[in-house]
Each structure stands twice: as structure tokens, then as C-alpha cells.
Amino acid sequence: MQFEDFDFSNPEAGKHGEGPPGDGTPAATAVRLQYLLDNTPSIIYCTVPSGDFKMTFVSNNALNVLGYQPEDMVADPNFWFDHIHPDDAPGIFSSLAQIFVEGARAYEYRFRVRDGSYLWMHDSLRLVRDEHGVPFEVIGSLTDITERKRMEAMLQARGEEQQLLISKLQEAHDQLLQSEKMASIGQLAAGIAHEINNPIGFVNSNMSSLQGYVGTLFGVIGQYEAAMRETPDGPALAARVAEVRAQADLAFLQDDMVDLVRESMDGLKRVRDIVQALKDFSHVGETDWQVACLHAGLDSTLNIVANELKYKARIEKQYGELPPILCLASQLNQVFMNLLVNAGQAISSDGVISIRTGHADNWVWVEIGDTGAGIAPEHLNRIFEPFFTTKAVGSGTGLGLSLSYGIVNKHGGRIEVASEVGQGTRFTVHLPLQPPGATHA
């Protein structure tokens, strides 16, 4: 049977709910076809393939979906164009002619329904040509996708909320990183002050003694001059000079003055080294990726934590050959400080903290081990969790290893840990020479 054998424009044919006859006659087949058109979820329509794409047929379910009578839609030559949302129409009109090249087009747009609101529709159009290849008709299928669009909008909103949350979490992480760094530095501040105050103290003391020595020396010189004026006799003068030298212990003063100056200079150098270590550790002003030497970072960090470690552990350094790497140097120094301080806290007394380095292929590694108490097996899987700590209340924030893990992960690296209770712990930081996505400032 051909379509022209049935009057598609008859809205009475095959109304909803009517079961089509099944006697196999052409009329019955036509009625069944109409039944299927009226009950499919999509609105089936046909338009002329030119001009204003006037509708020539609209399936009856347009009334249920859009609220319009199919015959009203067919009667108005501009019905389709006039009901597309003004914001969506330009994109459709500018590309509709492509259907004559591609043979098919699909659009998603808002369509005004009878109550004045808009539904999102998916419109799939296909060009039909006659036997001579001349465009004959455009067949379209309109499907209501409003619910899908609502879900997409909701998912997009949730995605934006998640991105905002991720941004806030990153900001909170950065704040925690800074807080942990400041907390760690605060924890060591007393030791650093002690390290600085000690050399400054004995420099001041030495300078005070040196001032007294200088006064004595001037007194000796004055007495020399007086003796020479008062005693013209040579032997008597020599005896007098020897007596004055002995009373002032001039030989001791000469030797001790040299020692005092040397110690004072050494003390000032220690102050300078400590201050330089603080600068190297923090890398003040360097917040971008930099090519840096990890050995220099380890040494400056060791100077910072020296007072924390020197009374309970001996440092053994076994540095291998390390090429410079692209990194956030101050953040890696924070990792080294966390691991060194943890190693020191794990040792009660007379322990050893070993630092080994090396590289293989395009990776470098830094191993920090200790002979301390070790980590219980049940805790090994949790040591990198935020706020997890086995230390006494008030002795730690539980953020050091978590933030260290995050810093190493940001560098595209990894941290490995091996520990045995009563024997000690060994952390190994593996870092790539060129972190993924990092660029040199």
C-alpha cells in the first residue's frame, strides 16, 4: 500500500485508544499505520523542501505534546518558524539549507506550546528525493527532551558546584600546607633562636673581654712610657719592663686575643649560616617551578632542624650523584623537614638518622631512615591520612605526612615507607626530573 491511499490529514482516523482492525485489508493497514503514528512518542511531520518549509502533515499526537491541533499547524505556512524560541532560531535558519547537501539534519531547540511555555525538542529531519533526484519532501521527527535538558542543566549545576568545592578544597589544602609549615617552623623556633643566641652570646662575651684586654694593653704601654722617662739606666729599665709585662701577663693576652677574635668570627659565621639556611629552606619569593639541587635543599633543611636532632641522633649522609630537577623547592624542603623531624621524634636517644640519595633513568630518590621505634603494621596504611597521628595529644597535627604525600604527588612522584617495630623506619621519596605539566618559570 502507498501513503497516498490514505488521508493523513483526517484527524478522526485512528484516534488514541482505538485498536486498529486486523483483517489485512488496505484500509485496515492504513488505519494501523495511523494508529502507530498517533501513539508514537515523537511527532511525525512533513514539510515542503523549499521556501518557508511549510508543514504538509503533522501526526495527531501533536495535540497531546504541544497542545495544537495538527490541522492548525498545517494551515499556517509560518507555524514552525514562528514557534521556535527567538534565541534558537538563528542557528537553525542559518544552517537549514545544509539538508540539501547532507540529506539530513538534527537540531535541539525550544518550541512554544499552546500555554506559552517552551519545551525542549529534538528535531531530526531527512530529505526525500523523487526518482529523478529532485527534492520532494522533508520528513521530520519531533521528540520532547525537556526532562533530559532539565537533568543536563542539573548535572551541569552540580558539576559547577563540584568544581567550586574542588577549588575550595584546594584552597583549604594550600592553607593547611601553609599552616603546617608555620606550625613546624614555630615548633623549631625555640631551637633556632637558641642556635642563634649561643654564638651571639659568646661573641658579645668575647668582645667584652677583648675590650678589657685592650684597656690593659694601653695601661701597659703607658707604664712603659713612664718607666722609660723615669729610669734612664738600661738594666733597670729592662727589669722594670719585665716586671710590668709579668704583672699584666702580656704573653697570655696576646695569645688569647687571637683566639677570641677567631672564635668571634666563627660565631658570626654560624649566625650567617643559620640565617642563610632559613632563606634557603623557605625559598622566599620562589613560588614557581624552579630547577634546583636537592642536596642543597637537604643541607639547608638539616641546618634548620639541627637543634631538634643533635641531642638524640647522629646524622649520616650518603649522597649520590643527583642531577638538578624541576620542582617547587620550598615545598620539597617542607617534605624533608617533616620526615627529618618525624625521624628525630621516633628516636629516644643515641640514634642514627641516615640520608641517602641517588638517581636512575629519569628519576631521583631521597631516602631518610632512622633507628627509632618504628611504625606498627596496623598503622602503616593510615600514616598518610589527614589528621592521623600516633603521637600524644598536643605533639602533632597529623598533617605532616599527609601534606608531604600531596606535595610529592603534585610533583608526579611517590613516597614509599618500610618500617619494623623496634628497628626503625625508612621513607623513600621518588621524584621525576620533569614533573608532568610543570613548566619552568
pLDDT tens figures, 125-182:
999 999 989 999 999 999 999 999 999 999 999 989 998 888 888 777 766 666 666 5
Positive or negative, the CA dihedral 311, 190, 391, 404 is negative
**Closest to 400 (Cα-Cα) out of 420, 412, 385, 418:** 385
Q: 137: part of which helix (H) or strand (E)?
A: strand 135-144
- Domain residues of the chain, as ranges? 26-149, 188-282, 290-432
Average pLDDT over residues 299-326: 89
Bridge partners (DSSP) listed for residue 127: 138
Average pLDDT over residues 63-77: 93
> What pLDDT score was predicted for residue 273?
73
Determine the 3-state secondary structure of 41 from DSSP. Answer: coil
Determine the 3-state secondary structure of 407 from DSSP. Answer: helix
Q: 192: part of which helix (H) or strand (E)?
A: helix 146-230
249 Ramachandran zone, left/alpha/beta (phi>0; psi -120 to 50):
left
For the chain, the straight-line distance linking the first and the last C-alpha, in angstroms and rounded, comes to: 75
Check residue 172 and report its DSSP letter.
H
DSSP per residue, 69-106? -HHHHHH-TTHHHHHB-TTTHHHHHHHGGGHHHHSEEE
State pTM to two decimals.
Answer: 0.46
What dihedral do alpha carbons 310, 316, 321, 323 form, nearest 10°? -30
Contact criterion met (CB below 8 Å) for 69 and 93 = no
Determine the 3-state secondary structure of 60 from DSSP. Answer: coil
**Closest to 193 (Cα-Cα) out of 304, 299, 69:** 304
Which residues are within 8 A (CB) of 96 and not within 5 positions of it... i.e. 6 or more apart?
A: 53, 105
* pLDDT bucket at 124, cuts 50 / 70 / 90: very high
* CATH superfamily label, 26-149: PAS domain (3.30.450.20)
Q: Which residue has the cell 492504513?
A: 30
* pLDDT bucket at 114, cuts 50 / 70 / 90: very high
> What pLDDT score was predicted for residue 263?
83
Distance CA 76, CA 68 (A): 12
Range scoring the smallest mean pLDDT among 4-8, 158-162, 243-247, 412-416? 4-8
Distance CA 124, CA 94 (A): 16
Domain 290-432 sits in CATH 3.30.70.2860: no
pLDDT tens figures, 73-96:
999 988 988 999 999 999 888 888
Determine the 3-state secondary structure of 179 from DSSP. Answer: helix
Identify the residue with better confidence: 107 or 188.
Answer: 107
Determine the 3-state secondary structure of 243 from DSSP. Answer: helix
**Closest to 107 (Cα-Cα) out of 50, 40, 99:** 99
> What pLDDT score was predicted for residue 66?
94
- Amino acid (one-letter) located at 46: C
Which residues are within 8 A (CB) of 259 and not within 5 positions of it... i.e. 6 or more apart?
A: none
Distance CA 41, CA 24 (A): 25
